[in-house]
Chain A
Amino acid sequence: MPKRISPIPFDRQNGARLMSYSPNVPLAKHKAGLLLSLVLAAISLSFFSPLMVWVVLLSVCAAVVRVSLFLGWYPQPPASRTVNLLAVLSLLALGWFSLSLGLLISMINLLVTACSLKLMVMRNQRDLLQLFLCILFLCGCGYIFEQGMLFVALYSAMVIVAFTALALQYASNQSYTYQLKMLGNMSLQAFPIAAVLFIIFPQLPPLWQMPSTQSASTGISDTMRPGDIASLSQSSELAFRARFEGKVPPPQDRYWRALVLEYFDGEEWTMSARRKAAEGQRKLQDRPFRPQVIGEALQYRVFAEASRQQWLFTLDVPVPGSPITSEKVWQSTSYTFIANQNLMSAMAYDVMSYPSTLLNQTNSRTDSYLNRQVPQDGNPRTREWAALLSQQYPDPKQRLNAVLDYFKQQNFSYTLNPPLMQSDGIDRFLFDAQTGFCAHYASATAFIMRLTGIPARVVAGYQGGEQLSNKVLSVYQYDAHAWIEVWFDEKGWQRIDPTAVVAPNRINFGLEQALEDSTEFLANEPLSLRRLQHLPFFSTLRDYLNQMDYLWSHWVLGFDQKQQQNLFKSLIGEITFERMVYLMVGAMLLISLLLAAYFVPRTLRPKKPKHLHCYQRAVGYVEKATNTQRNNEAPQHYLASVKNKMGKDAYTLFDLITRAFIRMEYAQGGLEKGNTSKMKHHLNRLKRTL
């Protein structure tokens, strides 16, 4: 029996590195798997609001499993039977919870669960690629929930780490740092191209309605209980920013209307169902309310944060400031803007507001009918007082002033933490506690007005705003406010702010100044930079961050069709089809140029050394003249072989060149390498001689 049939061992200088290609991924020391599991765990931890706790735990468990496999603590992944059982249980749980979660959140929970389970049993490259794509998609979904710069940086880092994992899968012999560097480099190169593509990609309106989330909405809501705004005032989150074209209005005029609440059930104010129905009908007929405007306009662009609500914020009587805005928003008969869909992302819109226009253009019969509604019973003491008031003051204005005077005379105070006033809340507020928040004042005043037969309604929105620059205002959640509007014949709806009577500082200087006990301000956010405002360092830091954040929302989040068109206009002038074609071609050229700048230097071969170049040219001439090919002969041999085939002069020159070449090629110190001028001189003479 022959021991070895193949009698021919291959001749190799180095040990051959051969590996049979297998699509299976190793369990231990699998760098790509480790990185992906860390990314998945980090993403699911960052999704604290949309994910259920057990889903987060599952993903962390999967990551732990993968890390243990990587370190070699376990030789085997969990049995697929175990994981299948886990999958069935998870699906059941998800199915159960999805009833209450809504489509979007359920989908994300499902995706994270699927990724976690896949990670546990990842066996081959195909699994890994699927996981990679899912993780990229999850990073994208992260932007639905968080759009702050910090989270964007986090998710971008996640994307880059995920790509690093992919690169390690395709070149597993490289180190983490090498691949991370490569990917970082590639991302830096990709960014300008991405920016160009982002600018020229069409900014389309939504193609279809997407499921949105109710749970995580922020800002004011469409029902107002007295406590709601107080709790909102504890938040230093940004609500929106506004950039004015001209002058910024003074603080006392900054009443940002968002919602008009016309139905009162004794405890809370809500939007009137009749108003909603009427609005719905107008929408069906596509007949938005367009008030006639007079006087000077305030022109501004609002960058609203993603509130997951539809309410937008405008001053006084607004009209859409650009055709693109009028496509995105609906103008209601309450003189407010409503976005066509919930603000799942930051949104920018343009407004023209007319402070001198009166709010008397709506159907006065409907308005006064809706706004004289009061509940059947409850708050008996207030009812009594209202009856008394209407006898004493037949003039509506006097009646209103009487109420406001009452607040003043009785030493009402302004606080974020009023005592609980449960049943007959307005009675208790007016006659017992005599302390409360804007919602209490607005609610009580409007109720009394209605009881005395004067149409009144509550407006919820924001009041004030912090000046970021001489054109930009930032409005925070703690600027949330409620005031009332009272219908006076002819003049229509007039804004009345009962809170201003009690706490004038609230209107002129903001919430912090208005609170008698300043520890109430942002009591739940002890570390908020806004609270540390009085320290110069933090004040500067906050200013700086705010400026950055403004630029971010101006240029990135708020970049829309209008800004795109403005940009195009500034580049090509008037937009015509022909010019747009040029623009697109230009953009493509720009991208190609960028690519060329990145890659052409890499393809260039190293230059030949000068002396070699000289020698080879000389050989070329000699070959032509003597008809003797060199064919990789050693220079000296070649010199000898052509000695008798050429003239003496030429031979001498070629001899000189050959010797110079040998000297330089094999010079130890490399001193003579650079100096090829003599060689060139000889070469020129050789050329002439031959």
Chain B
Amino acid sequence: MQQVIKRSLSNWFVSWLKRRIPAGKEQSLSHSKIFILPSRFGVWFIALCGLLFVLGTNYQNNLMRLLCTFLLSLFLLHMLASYINFSRLRIKALKIEAVFAGKESAAPIMISFDGKMAQGVVHFSWWRSNLNDTGSAMLSDNPTFADVPFTLTNRGHATLPRLTIRSDYPLGLFKCWTHLDLDQHLIVYPAPVKCDIKMYELASEEEAVSKVTKGGFDDFHALREYSPSDPLSNVAWKQVAKTNEWLVKTFDQPVSSSGWLTWASASSQDTEQRLSQLTYQIIQLSEHNAIFGLALPDLTVPPGKGNTHMHKCLNALALYRLTDKTVHA
């Protein structure tokens, strides 16, 4: 029963929040968005005021009473100062390109100011989610940039939860906060898992020719002088024996290597694991500027190379055979 009430209350709150603070990539903190309450320290502060009042009364000491009322009026002023400082913030979510599952990423945020610059530190956390990461930024530049860390575990589409932004400025007696939906949708690529790189040459679309190009980098290119940091395995021993000159073999980037990544490129039996292995291979191949295509059941990406191509492939892997389109973090 309690659970039901709790859940319905929570649902009501979420929908209320949705109406009160609608989603937006850039939001200035107007009064409908700000929540303000005394902090725990503020409550202790008020308790101290009470203590001073009692002591002042018992000792009939007007100075103590005056100190008590002075502290109370500072408290009151602090509430307004804190609120006004917070209401100057203008939060803009910068674009998050894409992230990998299981890898700590960061949501870049730009904080600019309406009117005068705000002061203090703003703290970030993700509201009501299993994202436990927090971050904070000192407001020292106009605009100030901050990265709010987060880690998503599942590949696919994701929407970031509401971002809780809090400030205790100027004296920590009150905390101002808001839960902003910065409308950040992103695609989570599968987590890369290290494996061997296997590319296949597809003669035609239907049959896979069994020739395997093992992704290696053994195309001999040239010789150069040895330096102590070079691995001994690369030393051209023949040359050393002949001329007593230490030379090292260097290898060309495998520009020439090209082929297809298929379901068989990944050794694992589990689909997610396979996607992860493929992710690794795609990243590796792109780094070495290889030309490759992706040929999976239900999914084909024609061969290509470069950064754009990599993202295209990773995107395809991220969304591969996902039934529900959006996964909320």
Q: Is residue B16 contacting chain A, with contact meaning CB distance below 8 A?
A: no
26 sample A-B contacts, Cβ–Cβ < 8 Å, listed by A number: A2-B284, A2-B287, A6-B100, A6-B103, A7-B307, A14-B143, A16-B147, A17-B138, A17-B141, A143-B61, A167-B171, A171-B138, A171-B170, A172-B138, A186-B77, A190-B73, A193-B77, A194-B66, A197-B72, A210-B58, A210-B59, A344-B59, A556-B62, A591-B76, A603-B87, A605-B115
Please give, as numbers and ranges, the residues of chain B lying within 8 Å of A6 by CB-CB distance. 99-100, 103, 105
Task: Give the CA-CA distance A116 to B313 in the complex, in Å.
Answer: 63
Residue among B73, B168, B287 with max Cβ neighbours from chain A (10 Å): B73
Q: Is residue B23 contacting chain A, with contact meaning CB distance below 8 A?
A: no
**Nearest CB in chain A: distance from B227 CB, A:** 20
Q: Is residue A88 contacting chain B, with contact meaning CB distance below 8 A?
A: no
Pick the interface stretch among B49-57, B202-210, B261-269, B318-326.
B49-57
Q: Is residue B223 contacting chain A, with contact meaning CB distance below 8 A?
A: no
Task: Give the CA-CA distance A603 to B88 in the complex, in Å.
Answer: 9
Pick the interface stretch among B1-9, B118-126, B236-244, B293-301.
B118-126
Task: Give the CA-CA distance A6 to B145 in the complex, in Å.
Answer: 19
- Is B71 in contact with A18, judged by CB distance below 8 angstroms? no
Please give, as numbers and ranges, the residues of chain B lying within 8 Å of A557 by CB-CB distance. 62-63
Q: Which of A1-38 contact B (CB under 8 A)?
A: 1-2, 5-8, 10-12, 14, 16-21
Please give, as numbers and ranges, the residues of chain B lying within 8 Å of A173 by CB-CB distance. 138, 140
**Nearest CB in chain A: distance from B206 CB, A:** 33
A residues with CB within 8 A of B? 1-2, 5-8, 10-12, 14, 16-21, 129, 133, 136-137, 139-141, 143-144, 147, 152, 159, 163, 166-167, 169-174, 182, 186-187, 189-191, 193-195, 197-198, 201, 204-210, 344-347, 556-560, 591, 595, 598-599, 602-603, 605-606
A159 touching B67 in the complex, CB below 8 Å, given contacts A18-B146, A186-B81? yes
Task: Give the CA-CA distance A559 to B76 in the complex, in Å.
Answer: 24
A140 touching B69 in the complex, CB below 8 Å, given contacts A2-B284, A171-B119? no
**Nearest CB in chain B: distance from A363 CB, A:** 33
**Nearest CB in chain B: distance from A189 CB, A:** 6
Q: Is residue B329 contacting chain A, with contact meaning CB distance below 8 A?
A: no
By Cβ-Cβ distance, the 4 closest A-B pairs, closest first, are: A21-B136, A193-B73, A345-B61, A143-B63
- Is A345 in contact with B66, judged by CB distance below 8 angstroms? no
Please give, as numbers and ranges, the residues of chain A lying within 8 Å of B84 by CB-CB distance. 599, 602-603
Task: Give the CA-CA distance A186 to B80 in the complex, in Å.
Answer: 11
Please give, as numbers and ranges, the residues of chain B lying within 8 Å of A560 by CB-CB distance. 60
Q: Which of B88-145 contact A (CB under 8 A)?
A: 94, 97-100, 103, 105-106, 108, 114-116, 119-121, 123, 134-138, 140-141, 143-145
- Is A152 in contact with B121, judged by CB distance below 8 angstroms? no
Task: Give the CA-CA distance A144 to B64 in the complex, in Å.
Answer: 8
- Is B48 in contact with A137, judged by CB distance below 8 angstroms? yes
Task: Give the CA-CA distance A21 to B146 in the complex, in Å.
Answer: 12
Residue among B114, B116, B138 with max Cβ neighbours from chain A (10 Å): B138
Please give, as numbers and ranges, the residues of chain B lying within 8 Å of A595 by CB-CB distance. 76-77, 80
Q: Which of B178-220 contact A (CB under 8 A)?
A: 192, 194
Task: Give the CA-CA distance A197 to B75 in the complex, in Å.
Answer: 13
The chain B residue sitting closest to A340, CB to CB, is B60
Q: Is residue B176 contacting chain A, with contact meaning CB distance below 8 A?
A: no
A344 touching B61 in the complex, CB below 8 Å, given contacts A18-B146, A598-B80? yes
Contact of A606 among B56, B71, B105, B115 (CB under 8 A): B115
Please give, as numbers and ranges, the residues of chain A lying within 8 Å of B284 by CB-CB distance. 2
**Nearest CB in chain A: distance from B195 CB, A:** 12
Please give, as numbers and ranges, the residues of chain A lying within 8 Å of B140 by CB-CB distance. 17, 173
- Is B170 in contact with A182, judged by CB distance below 8 angstroms? yes
Please give, as numbers and ranges, the residues of chain A lying within 8 Å of B147 by CB-CB distance. 10, 16, 18
Please give, as numbers and ranges, the residues of chain A lying within 8 Å of B41 by CB-CB distance. 129
Task: Give the CA-CA distance A188 to B244 in the complex, in Å.
Answer: 86
Task: Give the CA-CA distance A290 to B73 in the complex, in Å.
Answer: 44
- Is A190 in contact with B141, judged by CB distance below 8 angstroms? no
- Is B135 in contact with A18, judged by CB distance below 8 angstroms? yes
Q: Is residue B247 contacting chain A, with contact meaning CB distance below 8 A?
A: no
The chain B residue sitting closest to A204, CB to CB, is B57
Please give, as numbers and ranges, the residues of chain B lying within 8 Å of A602 by CB-CB distance. 84, 116
Contact of A10 among B64, B94, B103, B283 (CB under 8 A): B94
Task: Give the CA-CA distance A12 to B115 in the complex, in Å.
Answer: 23
Task: Give the CA-CA distance A75 to B222 in the complex, in Å.
Answer: 54
**Nearest CB in chain A: distance from B59 CB, A:** 4
Please give, as numbers and ranges, the residues of chain A lying within 8 Å of B116 by CB-CB distance. 602
Q: Mark B132-174, 1 if CB is under 8 A from A, else 0.
A: 0011111011011111000000000000000000001111100
Please give, as numbers and ranges, the residues of chain B lying within 8 Å of A198 by CB-CB distance. 62, 65-66, 69
Q: Is residue B226 contacting chain A, with contact meaning CB distance below 8 A?
A: no
Contact of A556 among B63, B71, B283 (CB under 8 A): B63
A345 touching B60 in the complex, CB below 8 Å, given contacts A163-B171, A595-B77? yes
- Is B60 in contact with A347, judged by CB distance below 8 angstroms? yes
- Is A605 in contact with B114, judged by CB distance below 8 angstroms? yes
Task: Give the CA-CA distance A235 to B97 in the complex, in Å.
Answer: 81
- Is B70 in contact with A345, judged by CB distance below 8 angstroms? no
- Is B194 in contact with A207, judged by CB distance below 8 angstroms? no
- Is A133 in contact with B45, judged by CB distance below 8 angstroms? yes
Q: Is residue B35 contacting chain A, with contact meaning CB distance below 8 A?
A: no
**Nearest CB in chain B: distance from A606 CB, A:** 7
Q: Is residue B74 contacting chain A, with contact meaning CB distance below 8 A?
A: yes
Q: Is residue B310 contacting chain A, with contact meaning CB distance below 8 A?
A: yes
**Nearest CB in chain B: distance from A212 CB, A:** 8
A12 touching B170 in the complex, CB below 8 Å, given contacts A21-B134, A152-B63? no
Please give, as numbers and ranges, the residues of chain A lying within 8 Å of B192 by CB-CB distance. 2, 5
**Nearest CB in chain A: distance from B311 CB, A:** 8
A17 touching B67 in the complex, CB below 8 Å, given contacts A2-B283, A194-B73, A556-B62? no
